[in-house]
C-alpha cells in the first residue's frame, strides 16, 4: 500500500517527490489589500473556509491562482467569497416562501369562506324583503299570519350565517393574517361590521314580527264593538317592550354603517338593499320616537284608564266657516279601551242653541274680537268655529257645549263631508227608506242632505219613535249617520285599514280636525302637525280665511290666490297678492233671500311685523288682529251670481323675512273646507327673474299647507 502523501503528484507513476514542508499561507488575512491596493472590509472576509484537510485539498487551485494577474486574482477571490452568502439568502427566501405561501393561501381561503357566509346571510335577508308586500299601503298582507310565518326560515338561515361568520372572524388564526394583507384588510374590516349589521337586522326582523303579530291581533277586534276592548294597557306594555328591543338595534346599525364600504363584500343588488336601509335609518328612528310618544299619550286619547268623551261636529263646507264649514250637527262619542261604547247619534245644533225657538241665553253674543263684523245674535255652538285656529275654535266649542247644558268633554273632532264621502265610496251606496226612499252615494251626498234640510221635504213625525232623531230638518242626516255606522260594523279588516289610511290624509288636509283638552296630547298633535293650528312661527306666511255670511253657495264659488314676492338685500319681502272669486250659479244653488250673491268676511293673516301698503278694494284694510302674533288685513267681499270674477289686490312688506345669506321660507296655509287654487312666485334680491314659480296643477286643488323655500 502506498503512502497517502505519495498520491498528490500529477501522475500516478512518476518518481517520488519529497514532502513539501513549506508552510501554506493563510487563504485571506483580515486587512489584506486587493489587486487595486484597496483594503478588503472585514465583513466581506468573514465567510472563509475553515482550516484542515479540506483546505489542503484546495491548495493546487490556490497555487494555480498565484499565476493569475493581480486584478483577476482579486476578482476571483472576492467572487468566491460572496457566493456562499448569496446561497444562504436564497435559502432563507425559500424557507420564508415555504412558510408564507401556504399561510397566505389559507388566509385567502378563510376570507373567501367569510365572504360566502356574508353573501348568503344577506341573500336570506333579501328573501325576507321579497316576501313582504311591495306596497306600504297593503298593511293587511303584512299582518297576515301566513306571511309572517313564511319569513321565519330565511331569518333563521340568515342568523345561522352571521353566527358562523362571527365565529370565523373571532377564532380563526388566518383572519388576522388576512387582515394584515393590503388586498384584504378593508374587506375583513367590512366583514366585521357586516356581522353586527346582519345580526341586528335578524333580531330587528324578529321584533317587528312580534309587533306585527300583536297589531294583527288588535285589528281583528273592532273599534266599533260595544263589548270587546280594542286596545288595552297590556297591548301598550307589549309594544313598549318591543320598542326597547328595536331602538338599540337601529342605533347599532347606524353606528356600524358609518364610514364602512360594504360594496366589496356584496352583490350589486345587496349593496342597493343595504344602502336603502342606511338612507332610511333616520326616518326609522323618527318613526320609533313617534310610536313611543303615542304610547305615552294613548291612555288619555283612547280611554284606557277611564272613559273619555269627545264632541263630534259635522261641518257643511257649502256654507264655509273658518275651520271648514257651518257646524250644523253634533254628537257625543264615548271611548273606552280604544272603542266606541255606543253609536254616534247626530243631533241638530239648533236644538242645543235654541230651546223651543228661544236662544239658550238672551244675552249671548259673539266674543269682542269679532263683534265689529259678526251679523247674528244668539252666539252658540253652531257658530263657535269663528277662529281659523282649530285649537282656539275647539276650546270655544267645548266651553259653549258645557255652558249650554251639555257635558264636560275631553276633546273635539270636526269633520267635513269628505270623510263621509270616502266611506260611501268604499262601502257602496246606502238606501234610506222611512219615507225618504233615496239612495245616497258619495257623489250625491251633499246635494241629498241639502234637499231634505233646506226644502223640508221629509216625512216629519210620521216616522216610528226610534227614528224620531234630531230635528225634522236634519232627521235625514241623523238617519244617514246611523246607517253608515251599521255599515262600518260589517266592514272587513282590509276596508277598515283603508279607511284608517284615508283618515290620516284627512288629518293633514284638515278634513278631519282633532283637539284634546289634555295638554300633553295636544302637544303631540302639534308636534306632528295634525292640530290644524294657525302658523305663528318666525318665517314668512300667508293665511287667507273666508267666513260665508250668505248661504250654501261655496260649492259654486271658485277662488284663486296668486302671491308675487320680491326679496331685497335687506331681507324684506314685498308681497303683491291677488285674491279672486267667481260665483257661477247653475240656478239651483240654495241662498238666503237677503243675500242672492256670495258674501264673505275675508281675513288675511301675515307675520306680525308686516307693513300694509295698499288695497284695490276700499273695504279691505289693515285692522286689529283677532289672532295673537299675527297682523291682519280684513273686510267684506260681495260676489254677485254669474257676474264675473271679483278680484282684490293687496300689497304689504315683511321686514326681516329672511336673514342675509339664509334660505327664505314662505308658508301658505289652506283653510279647511275651502278647496281653492294658488300661484306663488318668489324673486330673490337682484335676480332678473323669479327663482320659484308654482301653480296648482291642472284639475287639482290646494288642499294642504305648503312651504316654499328659496336658497340664496
How confident is the model at residue 270, as a pLDDT? 84
> Is it the case that residue 710 has pLDDT exceeding 50?
yes
pLDDT band at 290 (very low <50, low <70, confident <90, very high): very high
How confident is the model at residue 491, as a pLDDT? 85
Higher pLDDT, 675 or 42: 675
483 contacts: CB under 8 Å, gap ≥ 6: 430, 432
How confident is the model at residue 15, as a pLDDT? 43
pLDDT band at 263 (very low <50, low <70, confident <90, very high): confident
Q: Where are the alpha helices (DSSP H) in 418-492?
A: 418-427, 445-454, 475-489
> Is it the case that residue 317 has pLDDT exceeding 50?
yes
How confident is the model at residue 575, as a pLDDT? 98
> Is it the case that residue 62 has pLDDT exceeding 60?
no
> Is it the case that residue 210 has pLDDT exceeding 50?
yes
How confident is the model at residue 27, as a pLDDT? 37
Residue 355 β-bridge partners: 358
How confident is the model at residue 48, as a pLDDT? 37
540 contacts: CB under 8 Å, gap ≥ 6: 565, 573, 607, 654, 657, 658, 664, 665, 666, 667
Task: Look up residue 463 and give its DSSP letter.
Answer: S
Measured CA to CA, the distance from residue 634 to residue 454 in angstroms comes to: 31
* Stretch among 209-223, 358-372, 590-604 having the lowest mean pLDDT: 590-604
CB 264, CB 193: distance < 8 Å: no
Cell numbers linked to 604: 288675511
pLDDT band at 56 (very low <50, low <70, confident <90, very high): very low
- The predicted-structure confidence for 620-664, as pLDDT tens digits, reads as follows 999 999 999 999 999 999 999 888 899 999 999 999 999 989 999
Measured CA to CA, the distance from residue 538 to residue 374 in angstroms comes to: 30
For residues 37-50, give the mean pLDDT: 39
Size of the chain in residues: 712
For residues 292-299, give the mean pLDDT: 95
**Mean pLDDT for all residues in the chain:** 83
Measured CA to CA, the distance from residue 373 to residue 518 in angstroms comes to: 33
For residues 484-499, give the mean pLDDT: 86
pLDDT band at 68 (very low <50, low <70, confident <90, very high): very low
pLDDT band at 36 (very low <50, low <70, confident <90, very high): very low
- The predicted-structure confidence for 341-398, as pLDDT tens digits, reads as follows 888 999 999 999 998 889 999 999 999 999 999 999 999 999 999 999 999 999 999 9
pLDDT band at 279 (very low <50, low <70, confident <90, very high): confident
- The predicted-structure confidence for 504-553, as pLDDT tens digits, reads as follows 999 999 999 999 999 999 999 999 999 999 999 889 999 999 999 988 88
> Is it the case that residue 39 has pLDDT exceeding 70?
no
Query: What is the SS3 string spanning 636-675?
Result: EEEECECCCCEEEEEEEEECCCCCCCCCEEEEECCCCCCC
- The predicted-structure confidence for 436-486, as pLDDT tens digits, reads as follows 999 999 999 999 999 898 876 667 667 888 888 999 899 999 999 999 999
**SS3 category, 598:** strand
Residue 331 β-bridge partners: 312
* Among 313, 360, 302, 361, residue whose Cα is nearest residue 335: 302
Measured CA to CA, the distance from residue 305 to residue 337 in angstroms comes to: 8
Ramachandran area for residue 35 (φ above 0: left; ψ -120 to 50: alpha; else beta): alpha
Measured CA to CA, the distance from residue 374 to residue 384 in angstroms comes to: 12
Q: What is the pTM of this model?
A: 0.80
Higher pLDDT, 274 or 633: 633
Rounded (10°) CA dihedral 702, 676, 496, 485: 160
Distinct helix (H) and strand (E) counts, the chain: 17, 22
> What's the chain's Rg over C-alpha atoms?
45
How confident is the model at residue 559, as a pLDDT? 97
How confident is the model at residue 490, as a pLDDT? 85
> Is it the case that residue 25 has pLDDT exceeding 70?
no
Measured CA to CA, the distance from residue 318 to residue 673 in angstroms comes to: 8
Amino acid at each position: 500500500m502506498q503512502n497517502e502523501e505519495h498520491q498528490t503528484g500529477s501522475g500516478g507513476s512518476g518518481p517520488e517527490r519529497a514532502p513539501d514542508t513549506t508552510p501554506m499561507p493563510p487563504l485571506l488575512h483580515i486587512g489584506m489589500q486587493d489587486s487595486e491596493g484597496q483594503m478588503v472590509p472585514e465583513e466581506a472576509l468573514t465567510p472563509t473556509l475553515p482550516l484542515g484537510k479540506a483546505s489542503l485539498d484546495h491548495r493546487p487551485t490556490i497555487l494555480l491562482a498565484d499565476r493569475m494577474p493581480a486584478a483577476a486574482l482579486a476578482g476571483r477571490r472576492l467572487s468566491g467569497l460572496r457566493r456562499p452568502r448569496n446561497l444562504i439568502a436564497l435559502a432563507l427566501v425559500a424557507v420564508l416562501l415555504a412558510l408564507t405561501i401556504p399561510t397566505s393561501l389559507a388566509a385567502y381561503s378563510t376570507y373567501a369562506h367569510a365572504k360566502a357566509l356574508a353573501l348568503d346571510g344577506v341573500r336570506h335577508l333579501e328573501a325576507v324583503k321579497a316576501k313582504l308586500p311591495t306596497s306600504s299601503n297593503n298593511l293587511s298582507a303584512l299582518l297576515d299570519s301566513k306571511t309572517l310565518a313564511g319569513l321565519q326560515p330565511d331569518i333563521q338561515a340568515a342568523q345561522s350565517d352571521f353566527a358562523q361568520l362571527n365565529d370565523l372572524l373571532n377564532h380563526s388564526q388566518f383572519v388576522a393574517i388576512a387582515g394584515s394583507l393590503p388586498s384584504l384588510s378593508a374587506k375583513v374590516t367590512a366583514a366585521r361590521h357586516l356581522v353586527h349589521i346582519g345580526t341586528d337586522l335578524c333580531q330587528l326582523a324578529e321584533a317587528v314580527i312580534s309587533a306585527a303579530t300583536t297589531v294583527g291581533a288588535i285589528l281583528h277586534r273592532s273599534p266599533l264593538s260595544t263589548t270587546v276592548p280594542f286596545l288595552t294597557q297590556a297591548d301598550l306594555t307589549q309594544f313598549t317592550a318591543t320598542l326597547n328591543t328595536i331602538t338599540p338595534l337601529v342605533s347599532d346599525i347606524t353606528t356600524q354603517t358609518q364610514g364602512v364600504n360594504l360594496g366589496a363584500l356584496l352583490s350589486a343588488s345587496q349593496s342597493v338593499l343595504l344602502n336603502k336601509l342606511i338612507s332610511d335609518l333616520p326616518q326609522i328612528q323618527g318613526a320609533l320616537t313617534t310610536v313611543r310618544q303615542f304610547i305615552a299619550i294613548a291612555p288619555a286619547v283612547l280611554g284606557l284608564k277611564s272613559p273619555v268623551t269627545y264632541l263630534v261636529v259635522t261641518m257643511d263646507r257649502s256654507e264655509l266657516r273658518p275651520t271648514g264649514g257651518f257646524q250644523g250637527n253634533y254628537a257625543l262619542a264615548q271611548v273606552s279601551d280604544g272603542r266606541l261604547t255606543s253609536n254616534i247619534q247626530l243631533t241638530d245644533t239648533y236644538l242645543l242653541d235654541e230651546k223651543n225657538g228661544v236662544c239658550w241665553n238672551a244675552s249671548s253674543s259673539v266674543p269682542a274680537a269679532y263683534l265689529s263684523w259678526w251679523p247674528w245674535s244668539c252666539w252658540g255652538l253652531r257658530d263657535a268655529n269663528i277662529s281659523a285656529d282649530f285649537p282656539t275654535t275647539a276650546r270655544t266649542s267645548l266651553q259653549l257645549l258645557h255652558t249650554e247644558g251639555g257635558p264636560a268633554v275631553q276633546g273635539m273632532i270636526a269633520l267635513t263631508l269628505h270623510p263621509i264621502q270616502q266611506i260611501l265610496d268604499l262601502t257602496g251606496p246606502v238606501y234610506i227608506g222611512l219615507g225618504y226612499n233615496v239612495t245616497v252615494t258619495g257623489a250625491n251626498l251633499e246635494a241629498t242632505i241639502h234637499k231634505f234640510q233646506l226644502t223640508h221635504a221629509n216625512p216629519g213625525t210620521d216616522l216610528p219613535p226610534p227614528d224620531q232623531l234630531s230635528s225634522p230638518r236634519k232627521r235625514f242626516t241623523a238617519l244617514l249617520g246611523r246607517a253608515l255606522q251599521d255599515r262600518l260594523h260589517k266592514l272587513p279588516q282590509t276596508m277598515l285599514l283603508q279607511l284608517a289610511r284615508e283618515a290620516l290624509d284627512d288629518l293633514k288636509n284638515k278634513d278631519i280636525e282633532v283637539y284634546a283638552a289634555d295638554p300633553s296630547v295636544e302637544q303631540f298633535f302639534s308636534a306632528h302637525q295634525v292640530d290644524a293650528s294657525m302658523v305663528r312661527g318666525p318665517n314668512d306666511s300667508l293665511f287667507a280665511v273666508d267666513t260665508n255670511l250668505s248661504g250654501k253657495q261655496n260649492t259654486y264659488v271658485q277662488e284663486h290666490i296668486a302671491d308675487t314676492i320680491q326679496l331685497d338685500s335687506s331681507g324684506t319681502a314685498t308681497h303683491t297678492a291677488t285674491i279672486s272669486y267667481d260665483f257661477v250659479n247653475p240656478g239651483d244653488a240654495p241662498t238666503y233671500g237677503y243675500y242672492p250673491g256670495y258674501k264673505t268676511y275675508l281675513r288675511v293673516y301675515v307675520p306680525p311685523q308686516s307693513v300694509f301698503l295698499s288695497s284695490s278694494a276700499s273695504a279691505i284694510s289693515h285692522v286689529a288682529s283677532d289672532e295673537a302674533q299675527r297682523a291682519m288685513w280684513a273686510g267684506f267681499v260681495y260676489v254677485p251670481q254669474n257676474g264675473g270674477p271679483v278680484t282684490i289686490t293687496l300689497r304689504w312688506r315683511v321686514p326681516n323675512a329672511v336673514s342675509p345669506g339664509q334660505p327664505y321660507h314662505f308658508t301658505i296655509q289652506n283653510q279647511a273646507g275651502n278647496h281653492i287654487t294658488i300661484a306663488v312666485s318668489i324673486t330673490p334680491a337682484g335676480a332678473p327673474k323669479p327663482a320659484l314659480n308654482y301653480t296648482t296643477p291642472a284639475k287639482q286643488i290646494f288642499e294642504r299647507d305648503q312651504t316654499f323655500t328659496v336658497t340664496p
